[in-house]
Amino acid sequence: MMQTLQVALGARAYPINIGSGLIQNADLILPYLKRKQVAVVTNSTVAPLYLEKLAKPLRDAGVSVIEIILPDGEAYKNSDTLNLIYDALLKNRCERSTTLIALGGGVIGDLTGYAAATYLRGVPFIQIPTTLLSQVDSSVGGKTGINHPLGKNMIGAFYQPKLVLADIDTLQTLPQRELSAGVAEVIKYGLIRDADFFDWLEINIDKLMALDEAVTMYAIYRSCQNKAEVVAADEHETGERALLNLGHTFGHAIENAMGYGVWLHGEAVAAGTMLAADLSRRMGWLSDAEIQRMHALLTAARLPMQAPNLGVDRYLSLMQSDKKVADGKIRLVLQQGIGKAVITSDYDANKLRETLEAIV
Amino acid sequence: MMQTLQVALGARAYPINIGSGLIQNADLILPYLKRKQVAVVTNSTVAPLYLEKLAKPLRDAGVSVIEIILPDGEAYKNSDTLNLIYDALLKNRCERSTTLIALGGGVIGDLTGYAAATYLRGVPFIQIPTTLLSQVDSSVGGKTGINHPLGKNMIGAFYQPKLVLADIDTLQTLPQRELSAGVAEVIKYGLIRDADFFDWLEINIDKLMALDEAVTMYAIYRSCQNKAEVVAADEHETGERALLNLGHTFGHAIENAMGYGVWLHGEAVAAGTMLAADLSRRMGWLSDAEIQRMHALLTAARLPMQAPNLGVDRYLSLMQSDKKVADGKIRLVLQQGIGKAVITSDYDANKLRETLEAIV
């Protein structure tokens, strides 16, 4: 079973194929290769599960497959690991017609996409995201990059893949925490711009958590569709695209303070989303009943909602160093009801302090 | 005195201003700033000559100017130096609206442009090239990047500046060898596609070497115009743009073998151009008389024409590792007369060996 979503970005349109049994289907990949050489970048967790499944049918079709296996974890999303990819590409004399394939979660996608954007000033790139989070987030938007000791995602490029394969079979081996982190991102699309999808999620959350095939495919499809609509209108993140950062400014502060990788990105975003909701409620933009619905859905998704108590000043300082700051002022994505988010610096700073003080 | 050439690249069109007294003219720069903050990247040779000239009028106009002074030399065009730029930008909390200004030659332009392409996934970028080579080469085409221990310019991005200021006053402090290296690139445009310009250069070469104002401006203007025409037709170097690499495959082999920076890029290109010409003559595509004209012009430009004797096999191996190799075959830019170059792998490999053997 497979559905295809076409992401329209001018000359750089590409399809996202969503379904089961996609990884081992070389016919989906072959038409996108400029020559029969690919370099598959993956990590030590994903490689034993899926690398051979992908590589064998390609080799059988006459494709030369270079395997680049990186250590697993957000801690490795840095320039040293990036250099491991460059070194392997250069040692194998990969050329501009060599296609890079990212096989893994968000870290692998970001690293591989950035390597593809910058190796020989750009080579083709295919994404095979193996986590729910990366299927609904990294599949659309073209964000690639690495972390810097002074901040997350500080170095990067906008670079679009030629093709995305979101194979839901890979979710079967995903730890529950990571599945929940992905669902947090799915819920986000409902919260910021798609109230109907939020309603649908309230009904289907248990099936989604159980990875029911049709429900999972629809959740991924509709998430990518929402993201694609936002991104198409704003490819380089100057305006509406910032809506996608609901919970992220709080969330990045949490990730940064706790050390990258201690909280999963989606977990931090979930807790951050509840902080943003709390501030929205204090501003009178969100009702207690709506907060209750959000709370119930995130609970069903087994997400942590209790942000760590870092202290108000620490939060504010960390939020200020987030790159979504325009001219020194913290802009936040806040909610004006379920299905409607706004980007604003026009909130009461005292109420932001109250929200942060209310964390226990 | 100032002339402006508009480089048309779709949504990313930008002007090149060519003339004298441009660096200290803040009014040329101010309209291009998104906010009043710039980071000027330069090197320890250029900084004492021109940094204050650029920075003071900007500061007087209320612009915050961050100064990033790098060590001078091709040897520093690497990831360590790139990190010095990132570190300075992050420590100064530079945002997406901060403009990077490259003040220096090709190395500074490539490093700064690449930092601009990748810092926060892209910030605005202004180029102030201070060598003749960078004024006629890096001003157009959007190539940015760094070297890798395994090869030159292996890591990079295509990224266009918002504005280029080619101030010919800076050529007054340029060592003669570097001036000659720039003239080699100017002559190249005549050789590959502009026979009239080659004729003009034969007449005006002494004035150009003496930096006569009108002649220098015209030489830069016409060079950039030629390059812009080629690049506009082929922004990402898939076809005709490769013509600009006349002498480069031989030249890169020379630079690589001698160690980056021992031969200047333009010197290596000049010697490489004569090797390409020699092969073209052996193929019957270039006459002895044309070789003589080229020889005379390069001599007047005080360029070395004697390639180092590396041995045939070393040359071939180095040329093969150049990234202008398509599917393992060395493609070369060869001449079919002055003003007409072709990209071809359809030459007699034995004659290539003869050309390399004839080096003494």
Search chain B and give the residue with CA nearest A36: B327
Residue A255 has a pLDDT of 86
Query: Under DSSP, is residue B40 helix (H, G, I), strand (E, B) or coil?
Result: strand
Question: What is the token pair recorded at B233?
Answer: 């037709």
Q: Of A186, A139, A142, whose CA–CA distance to A166 is shortest?
A: A139
| Same domain assignment for residues B198 and B169 | no
| Same domain assignment for residues A325 and A196 | yes
CB B93 within 8 A of CB B122: no
| pLDDT of A9 higher than 80 | no
| Same domain assignment for residues A181 and A314 | yes
CB B100 within 8 A of CB B162: no
Active site residue B202: no
For chain B, the straight-line distance linking the first and the last C-alpha, in angstroms and rounded, comes to 46
Interface contact B95-A120, CB threshold 8 A: no
Q: For B286, left (φ over 0), alpha (ψ -120 to 50), or beta?
A: beta
| Cα B41 to Cα A341: distance, rounded to the nearest angstrom | 39
Q: What is the pLDDT of residues A189-231, one digit of tens each?
A: 999 999 999 999 999 999 999 999 999 999 999 999 999 999 8
| Same domain assignment for residues B109 and B145 | yes
Residues 101-140 of A with CB under 8 A from B: 117-122
Of B124, B152, B173, the domain-final residue:
B173
| Cα B326 to Cα B315: distance, rounded to the nearest angstrom | 18
Say which amino acid occupies A132.
Answer: L
Of B173, B196, B218, the domain-final residue:
B173
Kindly give, in sequence order, each residue whose CB lies less than 8 Å from that of residue B153, ignoring residues fewer than 6 positions away.
A121, B110, B143, B145, B146, B147, B323
Q: Does A83 touch chain B (CB under 8 A)?
A: yes
- Residue found by looking up tokens 């310009």 in the block: B197
Residue range A153-157: mean pLDDT, rounded? 95
Q: What Cα–Cα distance (Å) separates residue B39 from each residue in A326, B211, B321?
A: 17, 30, 36
| Same domain assignment for residues B102 and B166 | yes
Active site residue A121: yes
| pLDDT of B9 higher than 80 | no
Kind plus residue range of the DSSP H or E element containing B320: helix B312-320
Active site residue B245: yes
| pLDDT of B10 higher than 90 | no
Q: Of A56, A140, A68, whose CA–CA distance to A98 is shortest?
A: A68
Residue A173 has a pLDDT of 95
| Same domain assignment for residues B46 and B62 | yes
Q: A136-150, A154-168, B325-339: which range is least confident on average?
A: B325-339
Chain B nearest CA to A337, separation (Å): 30
Search chain A and give the residue with CA nearest B327: A95
Sorting pLDDT into bands at 50, 70 and 90, what band is A1?
confident
Residue range B136-162: mean pLDDT, rounded? 92
| Cα A278 to Cα A198: distance, rounded to the nearest angstrom | 18
A90, A91, A118, A121: best mutation site toward chain B, by most B Cβ within 10 Å?
A121
Return the HEC string of chain B. Answer: CEEEEEECCHHHCEEEEEECCCCCCHHHHHHHCCCCEEEEEEECCCHHHHHHHHHHHHHHCCCEEEEEEECCCHHHCCHHHHHHHHHHHHHCCCCCCCEEEEEECHHHHHHHHHHHHHECCCCCEEEEECCHHHHHCCCCCCEEEEEECCEEEEEEEECCCCEEEEEHHHHHHCCHHHHHHHHHHHHHHHHHHCHHHHHHHHHHHHHHHCCCHHHHHHHHHHHHHHHHHHHHCCCCCCCHHHHHHCCHHHHHHHHHHHCECCECHHHHHHHHHHHHHHHHHHCCCCCHHHHHHHHHHHHHCCCCCCCCCCCHHHHHHHHHCCCCEECCEECEEEECCCCCEEEECCCCHHHHHHHHHCCC
| Same domain assignment for residues B111 and B226 | no
CB B170 within 8 A of CB B50: yes
| pLDDT of B326 higher than 90 | no
| Same domain assignment for residues B154 and B188 | no
CB B233 within 8 A of CB B10: no
- Residue found by looking up tokens 């070789």 in the block: B291
Q: What percent of chain B has pLDDT over 90?
A: 80
Q: Does B150 touch chain A (CB under 8 A)?
A: yes
Q: Of A104, A145, A146, A143, whose CA–CA distance to A127 is shortest?
A: A104
Q: Of A315, A151, A248, whose CA–CA distance to B92 is shortest?
A: A151
| Cα A65 to Cα A68: distance, rounded to the nearest angstrom | 10
Query: B150: which strand partners?
Result: none
Question: What is the token pair recorded at A273?
Answer: 């989303």
Active site residue B148: no
- Residue found by looking up tokens 């151009």 in the block: B273
B85, B94, B118, B238: best mutation site toward chain A, by most A Cβ within 10 Å?
B118
Domain containing A298 equals 176-357
| Same domain assignment for residues B298 and B204 | yes
Q: What angle, 0 to 180 degrees and rounded to 10, lies between the N-to-C axes of helices B265-282 and B349-357?
A: 120
Chain B nearest CA to A65, separation (Å): 16
| pLDDT of A10 higher than 80 | no
- Residue found by looking up tokens 């709506």 in the block: A290
Candidates B74, B185, B255, B290; catalytic one: B185
**How many domains does the structure of chain B reveal?**
2
Of the ranges A329-338, B43-52, B312-321, the best mean pLDDT one: B43-52
Q: Could you tell me the CATH number of the domain that includes residue B323?
A: 1.20.1090.10
Q: A325-329, B184-188, B354-358: which range is least confident on average?
A: A325-329
Count the Cβ atoms, other than its own, within 10 Å of residue A262: 13
Search chain A and give the residue with CA nearest B118: A156
Of A109, A140, A173, the domain-final residue:
A173
| pLDDT of B266 higher than 60 | yes
Active site residue B204: no
Interface contact A120-B91, CB threshold 8 A: no
In DSSP notation, A88-145 reads HHHHTT--TTPEEEEEESHHHHHHHHHHHHHBTT---EEEEE-SHHHHHTTTSS-EEE
Question: What is the token pair recorded at B246?
Answer: 């006349």
A64, A114, A118: best mutation site toward chain B, by most B Cβ within 10 Å?
A118
Interface contact B154-A117, CB threshold 8 A: no
| Cα B218 to Cα B241: distance, rounded to the nearest angstrom | 22
ipTM of the predicted structure? 0.86
Query: B155: which strand partners?
Result: A119, B146
Search chain A and give the residue with CA nearest B94: A323
Q: Could you tell me the CATH number of the domain that includes residue B153?
A: 3.40.50.1970
Task: Give, as one character, the DSSP assignment of residue B293.
Answer: H
| Same domain assignment for residues A283 and A312 | yes
Active site residue A245: yes
| Same domain assignment for residues A130 and A270 | no
Q: Does B35 touch chain A (CB under 8 A)?
A: yes
Residue B320 has a pLDDT of 83
Q: Of B160, B143, B161, B142, whose CA–CA distance to B152 is shortest?
A: B143
Candidates A121, A236, A329, A350; catalytic one: A121
Handedness of CA A45, A46, A50, A55 (dihedral sign): negative
Interface contact B121-A326, CB threshold 8 A: no
| pLDDT of B239 higher than 80 | no
In DSSP notation, B122-140 reads ---EEEEE-SHHHHHTTTS
| Same domain assignment for residues B216 and B292 | yes
Question: What is the token pair recorded at A336?
Answer: 């004006």
